[in-house]
């Protein structure tokens, strides 16, 4: 069964899911949703995803949304196919969950605001709030300091294996490094910088960037 992924392939939350599906060697088809035109708020789309955001997947008659939930589902369903993204033991999986939650609760909120303000506000003709940008950068810097400490002790966030916890950071950090002149936030940290080079050198991410 080919998995249908609803959303534009350039949206960060869709990209997480696509990297995951490629790592797990799962066939997929992208059903484009024009989020600039607001198609994600159409009555038809809201039946799939009541919050009006991408991505959503359909797999036969099974529908699922929230990128981290979709990634968990496929990583577990096809545990032994492609890259194992959850760790070998329940204790390793616990740490994957811990760092995936850390990404969702500590890393994502400030980086999301930074990217919205500095990448999308100009495209949408909205003003940039310098105070909010400054506060978000300071919050993100503190999170990255903790990542630096962690990554000085283990190669990846959850341990010595690449997992959903690392993968989940890639799409938004890609904007930070490449589109808003803030690569220094990664590059001024030795271990975070090496981790970033490692996780973005994966074939799955390169493929997603070409979609």
- DSSP string over 5-70: EES-TTSHHHHHHHHHHHHTT--EEEE---TTTTGGGSHHHHHH-TT--S-EEEETTEEEESHHHH
**What is the closest distance, in whole angstroms, from the C-beta atom of residue 64 to a copy of itself in the complex?**
5
Q: Please say which residue, 36 or 90, places its beta carbon nearer to a copy of itself.
A: 90
Q: Please say which residue, 20 or 70, places its beta carbon nearer to a copy of itself.
A: 70
**What is the closest distance, in whole angstroms, from the C-beta atom of residue 18 to a copy of itself in the complex?**
18
Q: Please say which residue, 69 or 211, places its beta carbon nearer to a copy of itself.
A: 69
- What phi and psi, each to the nearest 5 degrees, are found at residue 201? -90, 0
Distance of CA 194 to the CA centre of its chain: 18
Q: Please say which residue, 66 or 177, places its beta carbon nearer to a copy of itself.
A: 66
Binding residues for a copy of itself (CB under 8 A) = 50-51, 62, 64-66, 68-70, 72-73, 76-77, 90-91, 93-95, 97-98, 100-102, 104-106, 109, 146, 149-150
Query: Shortest CA distance to 191 belongs to which of 202, 199, 203, 179?
Result: 199
């Amino acid at each position: 069964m080919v998995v249908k992924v609803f959303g534009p392939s350039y949206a960060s939350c869709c990209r997480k899911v696509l990297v995951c599906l490629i790592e797990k060697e799962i066939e997929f088809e992208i059903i484009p949703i024009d989020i600039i035109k607001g198609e994600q708020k159409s009555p038809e789309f809201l039946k799939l995803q009541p919050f009006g955001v991408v991505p959503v997947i359909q797999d036969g008659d099974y529908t699922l949304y929230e990128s981290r939930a979709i990634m968990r589902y496929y990583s577990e369903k096809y545990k032994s196919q492609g890259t194992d993204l959850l760790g070998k033991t329940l204790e390793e999986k616990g740490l994957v969950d811990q760092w995936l939650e850390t990404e969702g609760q500590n890393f994502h909120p400030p980086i999301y605001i930074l990217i919205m303000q500095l990448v999308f506000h100009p495209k949408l003709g909205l003003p940039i709030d310098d105070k909010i940008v400054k506060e978000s950068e300071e919050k993100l810097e503190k999170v990255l300091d903790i990542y630096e400490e962690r990554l000085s002790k283990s190669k990846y966030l959850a341990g010595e294996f690449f997992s959903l916890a690392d993968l989940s950071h890639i799409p938004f950090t890609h904007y930070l490094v490449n589109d808003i002149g803030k690569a220094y936030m990664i590059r001024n940290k030795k271990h975070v910088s090496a981790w970033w080079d490692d996780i973005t050198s994966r074939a799955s991410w390169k493929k997603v960037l070409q979609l």
